[in-house]
Structure 1
Amino acid sequence: MSGNRSASEPRVTGADIEAARERIADVVHRTPLDTSRTFAEMSGAASVGLKLENVQRTGSFKIRGAYNTMAQLSPAEREAGVIASSAGNHAQGVALAGQLLDIETTIVVPEVTPAAKIEATRGYGAEVVVEGDIYERSYEYATERADETGETFVHPFDDEAIVAGQGTVGLELREQYPEIDTVLVSIGGGGLISGIGTALKAREPDVRVIGVQPEGAAHAKPSLEAGEIRELPDVDTVAEGIADTRLLETTFAIAREVVDDVVSVSDREIAAAVTLLAERAKTVAESAGAAPLAAALSDELELGGEHVGVVISGGNVNLTEHAELTRAGLHELERYAEARLAVAGWPTTVGDVVETVESEGAELDVLERARRTSVDEPNRVPVTVGLEGSGPAHLEGVLEALAGLEGVSVVERSLE
Structure 2
Amino acid sequence: MGEFSEEGLTLDLLREAREVVRSSPLGVINTPMIPWCQTTLPLDIHCNIHIKLENMQRTGSFKIRGVANQFARRPKGGHFVTMSAKKNGNYGKGWGREKKKKGKKKGGGGPGPPPPPPPPFFLGVSFGVEVERVPTSCLMNVVNRCVQEENMTFLHSYDDLDLIAGHASLGMEVLEVMPEPDVVVVCCGGGGLLAGVAAAIKLSGCDKTRIYGVEPEGACTMYKSFIEKKPVGMDSQSIASGLAPPFAGTLPFELCQRYVEGIVLINDEEIKAAVSTLYRSGLVVEPSGSAAFAAIVNNKIPELEGKNVVCILSGGNIGKDELTNFPD
Structure-1-length-normalised TM-score: 0.72
Match of 1:290 in 2: 290
Which deviates more from structure 2 when the two are superposed, residues 141-150 or residues 56-65? 141-150
- Is 1:84 matched with 2:79? no
Q: Which structure is richer in relative contact order (CA contacts within 8 A, separation 6 or more)?
A: 2
The structural deviation recorded for 1:117 is 2.9
In 2: Cα distance, 1:176 partner to 1:113 partner = 41
Matches within 5 A, 1:6-405: 10-26=7-23, 27-37=27-37, 42-74=43-75, 78-86=76-84, 87=86, 88-96=89-97, 98-110=98-110, 111=112, 112=115, 114-130=117-133, 132=134, 134-203=135-204, 204-232=206-234, 234-280=235-281, 282-302=282-302, 303-325=304-326, 327=327, 330=328
Question: Which amino acid letter does the alignment assign opposite residue 211 of structure 1?
Answer: G
Deviations 1:6-56 (A, max 9, x none): x6x613122211111111212311111021116886141422111111111
In 2: Cα distance, 1:269 partner to 1:308 partner = 20
Distance 1:263 1:115, change over 3 A: closer
In 2: Cα distance, 1:217 partner to 1:10 partner = 28
Question: Which amino acid letter does the alignment assign opposite residue 273 of structure 1?
Answer: A
Distance 1:266 1:167, change over 3 A: same
Q: Which has the larger radius of gyration?
A: 1
Are the equivalent residues in 2 in contact too, given 1:235–1:245 (CA < 8 A)? yes
Report SS of the residue matched to 1:59: coil
The structural deviation recorded for 1:62 is 0.7
Report SS of the residue matched to 1:301: coil
In 2: Cα distance, 1:218 partner to 1:90 partner = 20
In 2: Cα distance, 1:225 partner to 1:275 partner = 32
Report SS of the residue matched to 1:150: coil
Question: Which amino acid letter does the alignment assign opposite residue 290 of structure 1?
Answer: S
The structural deviation recorded for 1:113 is 5.6
Match of 1:412 in 2: none
Are the equivalent residues in 2 in contact too, given 1:217–1:235 (CA < 8 A)? yes
Q: Work out the percentage of aligned pairs sharing the same amino acid.
A: 30
Report SS of the residue matched to 1:58: coil
The structural deviation recorded for 1:283 is 1.0
In 2: Cα distance, 1:285 partner to 1:242 partner = 14
Report SS of the residue matched to 1:315: coil
The structural deviation recorded for 1:316 is 0.8
Question: Which amino acid letter does the alignment assign opposite residue 95 of structure 1?
Answer: G
Which deviates more from structure 2 when the two are superposed, residues 204-213 or residues 145-154? 145-154
Question: Which amino acid letter does the alignment assign opposite residue 17 of structure 2?
Answer: A
Distance 1:43 1:101, change over 3 A: farther
Report SS of the residue matched to 1:286: coil
The structural deviation recorded for 1:143 is 2.8
In 2: Cα distance, 1:209 partner to 1:116 partner = 33
Question: Which amino acid letter does the alignment assign opposite residue 241 of structure 1?
Answer: G
Distance 1:43 1:166, change over 3 A: farther
The structural deviation recorded for 1:139 is 3.3
Question: Which amino acid letter does the alignment assign opposite residue 247 of structure 1?
Answer: A
In 2: Cα distance, 1:144 partner to 1:163 partner = 25
Question: Which amino acid letter does the alignment assign opposite residue 261 of structure 1?
Answer: G
Deviations 1:121-173 (A, max 9, x none): 1233322233x2x1231332023212322222111100101110111100001
CA-based RMSD: 2.0
Report SS of the residue matched to 1:211: strand
* Aligned residues between the structures: 316
Deviations 1:173-223 (A, max 9, x none): 111222421111111100000000000001211111100011111222232
Report SS of the residue matched to 1:42: coil
In 1: Cα distance, 2:247 partner to 2:143 partner = 19
Distance 1:314 1:11, change over 3 A: same
The structural deviation recorded for 1:109 is 2.5
Report SS of the residue matched to 1:163: helix
Are the equivalent residues in 2 in contact too, given 1:160–1:250 (CA < 8 A)? yes
In 1: Cα distance, 2:58 partner to 2:2 partner = 26
In 1: Cα distance, 2:223 partner to 2:82 partner = 27
Structure-2-length-normalised TM-score: 0.90
